[in-house]
Every structure is written in C-alpha cells, then in structure tokens.
Amino acid sequence: MFQNADSSLNPRLSVVDALERPLALFDRVPPRARDARVTQLLDMVQLPRSYRSRYPHQLSGGEKQRVAIARALATDPEFIVCDEPVSALDASVQAAIVNLLADLRDAFGLAYLFISHDLAVVSQLADRIAVMYRGGICEIGTTAEVLGSPHHPYTQALLASVPQTERARPQLLRGTIEVAPQPVRGCRFVARCPHKLGAVCETVVATLQPLSTTRSVACHLVTPPVS
C-alpha cells in the first residue's frame, strides 16, 4: 500500500479492472470466479458494489485508498507493507482507514509493516515499534515500552512533537538532516542530539544493545560502550 493512492491507481483502469489484475497476474483465482472475488473485496473494504465500474477520478481520497487496500488483499497475503498509507488523508478519513486496517488484521490474521512519521497512528496499529534515523534503528520494542518510556533522544523528540493539550514545550532538535548524508562516523544522531556526551558519541558507533528480552536501544547514554 502506497502513500499516494492517486499515483498507485491506473487512471485508465476501472475499479473492477484494477482488482482483477492481481488475480490474473498471480493466477490465484480462476477466471470465472474473479468477478465474485472483486465483489467480495469491495465488501471487505466497505465500498458499495456499484463502485466496481468507477474510475479513480470518480473516487475520493479515502475511497481510492480503500481500493488500494482491496487490491493488496486480492491474493490473500499474510504480510502487507503499508508505506505512509494515511498521511495524505484528512483526520476523519485517516481514522476510518486505520480502523479498517485494524479490523482486517484481526479478521484475517494479517501482519503489517507500517511505515509512518505519525506516532499517534502507529500507536493504534502496532504491537512493536522500531524508530529509525538516517537508515538505522535507534530503538525497538513493544509499543507500550517505546511510547511509554522512550530512551533514545530521537524517540523522545518525536514524542515531544506530537500535539497534546497538556505537554511541556516540544524538545527542539538542533541542525537539519543532510541532503546527501556522509558515511556515518560515530552515532547517527550525534549532529542533532541535545544530550551528546562528546567524543564517544562522535567517534564510536552506537549499536543496538538489549535492555530486556523485548527492547533494544542504540545510544551511549543508555548503553555505554565497553572499554
């Protein structure tokens, strides 16, 4: 599932054609049964069956993303990659899509790799969270661990940036991410970390170290390097 449903749906294909295409490519459903499978998919994502003849320009953003979800489900997958699938939607539609994804996960035993910058959305779907910065994992653990007690400064900054009615002033990060990052020397986050220790952070790579059986953190503040 892609971030922009407009780009991921072929404007020349109707909904029925878009949903039949993976069925034909993967040959998972006999030709005579594909029409019934399309109807089933529309029911699964809560779209009217009459939408089968519509084209992408006749659908709203949320409806397009539902078609994209139906297309992803067409071949009965066990694992789906969701790449920022709700970031382009407004708040109310976003909530409806997240709820749909959760219902489908529970109904069909799906596993999602959900990629997002929105921790509020992630918290509604994820059992485990891996926080990444410049291509490396900073912190990984259960949702309750990472969001309830963040250890890495970057995780702390991400959580501080989430709008809430009762929260201290967000923790601001120094600097910006380089457009073309140089090879990492020391900690990936050192240039922007408000708590860096000095030379150790600048020269020693912070690798993931286990804090428990379910949680690991890559930070010298939490797991000092062994000398």
* Residues 209-219 pLDDT 10s: 999 999 999 99
pLDDT at 190 over 50: yes
In a domain, 82, yes or no: yes
Helical ranges in 74-166 per DSSP H: 91-108, 119-125, 143-148, 153-160
Same domain assignment for residues 196 and 170 = yes
Q: How many domains does the chain have?
A: 2
Same domain assignment for residues 168 and 117 = no
pLDDT at 103 over 60: yes
Last residue of a domain, one of 93, 125, 157: 125
In a domain, 225, yes or no: no
Same domain assignment for residues 156 and 115 = no
Query: Structural domain of residue 143, as residue ranges?
Result: 128-217
Same domain assignment for residues 121 and 145 = no
Identify the helix (H) or strand (E) that includes residue 62. Answer: helix 61-73
pTM for the full predicted model? 0.83
The pLDDT tens digits for 7-35 are 889 999 999 999 999 999 998 889 999 99
| Cα–Cα distance, 1 to 68 (Å, whole number) | 6
Query: What pLDDT is stored for residue 191 in this prediction?
Result: 85
- What contacts 4, CB < 8 A, 6 or more positions away? 88
Query: What pLDDT is stored for residue 180 in this prediction?
Result: 47
| Cα–Cα distance, 14 to 214 (Å, whole number) | 45
Per-residue confidence band for 192, with pLDDT thresholds at 50, 70 and 90:
confident
Matching residue, tokens 């890495």: 152
- What contacts 10, CB < 8 A, 6 or more positions away? 18, 56
β-strand partners of 86: none
In a domain, 223, yes or no: no
In a domain, 226, yes or no: no
Same domain assignment for residues 93 and 192 = no
Extract the tokens encoding 192: 């922007």
pLDDT at 223 over 80: no
Last residue of a domain, one of 125, 145, 161: 125
* Least confidently predicted of 23-27, 60-64, 124-128, 179-183: 179-183
% the chain with pLDDT above 90: 64
Q: What is the mean pLDDT of residues 146-155?
A: 93
In a domain, 55, yes or no: yes
Query: What pLDDT is stored for residue 87 in this prediction?
Result: 85
* Least confidently predicted of 54-63, 106-115, 139-148, 175-184: 175-184
In a domain, 222, yes or no: no
Last residue of a domain, one of 70, 101, 125: 125
Average pLDDT, the chain: 88
Q: What is the mean pLDDT of residues 119-126?
A: 90
In a domain, 120, yes or no: yes
